[in-house]
Structure 1
Amino acid sequence: MPLDADTPLNSLGFAKPPADTRVVVAMSGGVDSSVVAAELASQGYDVVGVTLQLYDHGAALAKKGACCAGIDIHDARRVAEEMGFPHYVLDYENIFKETVIDEFADSYLAGATPVPCIRCNERVKFKDLLQTAKDLDADCMATGHYIQRKIGDRGPELHAGADPRRDQSYFLFSTTPEQLDYLRFPLGHLASKEDTRALAKKHGLVVADKPDSQDICFVPDGNYASVIEKLRPGAGEPGEIVHMDGRVLAQHDGVIHYTIGQRRGLGIGGLSVPLYVVRLDPDARQVVVGPKEALSTRIVPVREINWLGDEPFEARAEWPLSVKVRSTRPPREAILRPTGPTTAEVELFTPEEGVSPGQACVFYDTDSTRIYGGGWIWRG
């Protein structure tokens, strides 16, 4: 619909009344997406709630800490009933297994430390679900993510959430410009999670005090290794724990039980210097350990880059940015050097410890909250 200069934009950015604006809300059953749906419905928008059934195996159904469990589907449906808008459950189990779970298992087997929530956003929620929203003739799709979409000189920009404790930009770096044009993030400007819960209570939602999800939805007890062994029988083959200098220190019961930077649970006590996992070699079935300083990394190779800058990615030889190499760490100053259309070398001003293949490297503006995309760390 063309914009009319005399028609004010509604809160979702469309030049028409909320009642004439259809928005699909991706509802996980948690408080965040429930508040988004309730707020938009109360503002008079034509809301359609959609919940994805991604994983429905045994323990996951009864585990409250898992975002896609059966109880969450029930909670999403109750919120829709309370607020008076339609709600649909879509079975995406096969898509989710093929595009997220299988890669998660294979990445672990290859000695990487994957982040399946990013792949789920990229390959399921912001791809298949977004297309479903368009098929429903929705003007946009809204989610409960803590991230901001702002309109800049050249169109929509991705910005970090206003609350740095809740910011989810690390998990959404692969959002493309086309997706960003269609997506809305109504919670991104809120100062704290307490503000979200206050809105939930204002609407009388049954999920107002529901705990935040903590675990990956298909690993409800946090035991990655057991899930991988079920998906890939024989994955837990024993091998050696080897020092960087070549000494064999102990035996292990499977590379999948270890991650880069791990110190505890190695079974090699009694040494004068604490040792950490510095590398995993699944082909040789070796866990390589060394002193803490061996974890320090300055140069980080990155691939599969999604670029959200105004200029083309390869327009410059160097981009001065800040980067995050783990979701729990603050952005650090760095230089990004393109080496191809979707590959780059990141040089960190200050070395980081425990940089692991399979994790994301996300790019931030050094002077604002803007996100310039990111990519995946690999061995090089």
Structure 2
Amino acid sequence: MKKVLLAMSGGIDSAAAAILLLEAGYEVIGATMLLSGSRSYSGQSGCFGPRESQSQADLHRVCAHLNIPLHSLDLSQDFDRLILDYYRQSYLGGSTPNPCVVCNSALKFGLLPFRLRELGIEHDYFATGHYARLESPAESGRIQLFRAADPRKDQSYFLCLLSQQQLQNILLPLGSLHKTQVREIVAQSGLSFLLNKAESQDFVDEADHPLLFEEEKEEAGDLIGPEGENIGTHRGLSRYTIGQRRHIGVSGKPEPWYVTSLDHKRNRVLVGPREGLFRQSLIAEDVNWLSIPAITCETPAQTKIRLAHDPAPCLLKPLPDGRVEVLFEEAQMSITPGQFAVFYEGDMVLGGGRISL
């Protein structure tokens, strides 16, 4: 019987993945990451902090019900070093990080199975409850990543940094299912207590965001209007992101104003009306090619600039040093440095890289 190490969180998706794998005849071994360590946070919506304890309790209940073993691995120090430091330094440098993309590559599909194998937890496959699909066409010689069957739940964007090596022995049982089917699977398996559990989860609760920057000495700076005029003072670059409308220190305007750019070198936040948010192009750095080899010529594609963004038609233009210029057919709103641009050909994920302007 083939063994599958399944990353689990105590939520409905990983529980459904476990049920499907058991029904398919695999021996399922549960695995979970402990991320909070000794830190003290108060927010309830983050993926670490107080919510982690309840998630762990739910997870133990799920594994006991399904009669599968569970291995909990403390990765809190690695989480600090690889994810929280990246998160802090990105904001302090004037860009907006996407910690979920980095965490999937570095921890969930990286250190979690690697460390457990070092501890003697052997397995033939590694699985998660992500909504995405994998295919292995013989002619390509590569594992190819595709969007999920349920477009509203698709999470292929979050997997854009995975390597071919990481994809070799991956199972994604939920990729061909819709959320309604997943809920039905869980309900019929005697785990209906999961159905009322909140699913949306931020990386960090808004209340805890300032705590991540307690040791950083951020300086206030100028708030600059669309004509270059100084209209006030900002509270530190880490508090702002492109497209932000609330809490930017601007009032009394006939139309809403937004953060349109962050100037790290001069410690300035630029604000203005909505039209200042639109751009026709971007540069993606450190591009990771997934389903195809690196392109060598201009290639038509569609690009997604954030999770909640429909892939927009564009032309990909290869540049030196692993960069790609993305030229959109129509200007896109709130292209944000630090986020990830993910390239698609229909449902297939070509690759992705970190946005710079």
Partner of 1:37: 18
Partner of 2:349: 371
Which residue pairs with 2:176 in the alignment?
A: 189
CA contact (8 A) 1:304 1:376 kept: yes
CA contact (8 A) 2:45 2:201 kept: no
How far does residue 228 in structure 1 lie from its aligned partner after superposition?
Answer: 3.2
Q: Does 1:262 align with 2:240?
A: no
CA contact (8 A) 2:4 2:29 kept: yes
The equivalent residue for 2:225 is 243
Q: Displacement, 1:133?
A: 5.3
Instruction: Name the CA distance, whole Å, in 1 between partners of 2:323 and 2:211.
Output: 31
**SS of aligned partner of 1:207:** helix
In structure 2, the residue matched to 1:13 is none
| 1:293 Cα offset (Å) | 2.1
How much does 1:280 deviate?
Answer: 1.1
Alpha-carbon deviation of 1:331? 0.3
Q: Is contact 1:73–1:89 with CA below 8 Å preserved after alignment?
A: no
Deviations 1:178-211 (A, max 9, x none): 11111110001112x2211111111112423322
TM-superposed CA distance for 1:265, in Å, is: 2.7
| Structure 2 counterpart of 1:332 | 312
Equivalent position amino acid for 1:147 in 2:
A
Tell me how far apart the structure 1 counterparts of residues 46 and 282 of structure 2 sit (CA, whole Å).
33
Check the 8 A contact 2:143/2:291 in 1, yes or no: no
* TM-score between the two structures when normalised by the length of structure 1: 0.86
1:231-288 deviation digits (Å, cap 9, x = unpaired): x3323x3222111322111122222222111233333222345432111123433111
Whole-angstrom CA distance in 1 between matches of 2:289 and 2:4? 27
Aligned to 1:227: 211
Counterparts of 1:214 and 1:352, CA distance in 2: 26
Q: Counterpart amino acid of 1:271?
A: K
User: How far apart, in 2, do the equivalents of 1:92 and 1:65 lie?
Assistant: 16
- Equivalent residue of 1:208, what SS? helix
The answer as to whether partners of 2:41 and 2:208 remain within 8 angstroms in 1 is no
Is the CA contact (8 Å cut-off) linking 1:197 and 1:209 kept in structure 2? no
- Equivalents in 2 of 1:225, 1:246: separation in Å? 30
Would you say the 8 A contact 1:65–1:211 is kept in 2? no
User: Are 2:75 and 1:97 aligned?
Assistant: no
For 2:67, give the aligned amino acid.
Answer: G
Give CA deviations for 1:49-86 in whole Å, capped at 9, x if unaligned: 011101243346x8366367111112112111111111
Taking structure 2 as the reference length, the TM-score comes to 0.92
Of residues 97, 106, 127, the one that matches 1:142 is: 127
Q: Distance in 1 between matches of 2:99 and 2:207?
A: 14
- More deviation in 102-111 or 287-296? 287-296
Residue 201 in 1 paired to residue 184 in 2? Answer: no
Partner-residue secondary structure (3-state), 1:355 = coil
Call closer, same or farther: CA 1:322–1:173 in 2, change over 3 Å. Answer: same
Tell whether the 8 Å contact from 2:145 to 2:291 is kept in structure 1 after alignment.
no
- Count the aligned residue pairs: 349
Q: Describe how 1:335-346 pairs up with structure 2 within 5 A.
A: 335-340=315-320, 342-346=322-326
In structure 2, C-alpha distance between the alignment counterparts of 1:160 and 1:335, rounded to whole Å: 20
Show the 5 A alignment for 1:65-84: 66=47, 69-84=52-67
Q: Which residue of 2 aligns with 1:7?
A: none
Paired with 1:168 and 1:294, the residues of 2 have a C-alpha distance of 29
CA shift at 1:109, angstroms?
Answer: 0.6
Q: Which secondary structure does the structure 1 equivalent of 2:143 belong to? A: strand
* Matching residue of 1:4: none
Unaligned runs of 5+ in 1: 1-19
Letter in 1 for 2:68: F
Q: What SS does the corresponding residue of 2:107 show, helix, strand or coil?
A: helix
Call closer, same or farther: CA 1:301–1:213 in 2, change over 3 Å: same
5+ residue gaps, structure 2: none
Q: CA deviation at 1:371?
A: 0.6
Q: Using the alignment, how far apart are the partners of 2:169 and 2:25 within structure 1? A: 19
Mean Cα deviation higher: 30-39 or 142-151: 30-39
CA-to-partner distance for each residue in 1:298-320, whole Å, 9 max, x for gaps? 1201111110243x314x32111
Q: Is the 8 A contact 2:45 2:202 kept in 1?
A: no
**Structure 2: distance between partners of 1:307 and 1:145:** 20
Residue 336 of structure 2 is matched in structure 1 by 356
Q: Tell me the distance in 1 between the aligned counterparts of 2:175 and 2:9.
A: 17
Partner Cα distance (2:208, 2:245) in 1: 18
Give the corresponding residue for 2:8. 27
SS of structure 1 residue aligned to 2:63: helix
- Answer yes or no: is 1:160 the counterpart of 2:136: no
The answer to whether the 8 A contact 1:66-1:213 is kept is no
RMSD: 2.0
Structure 1 residues 223 and 333 mapped into 2: Cα distance closer, same or farther (>3 Å)? Answer: farther
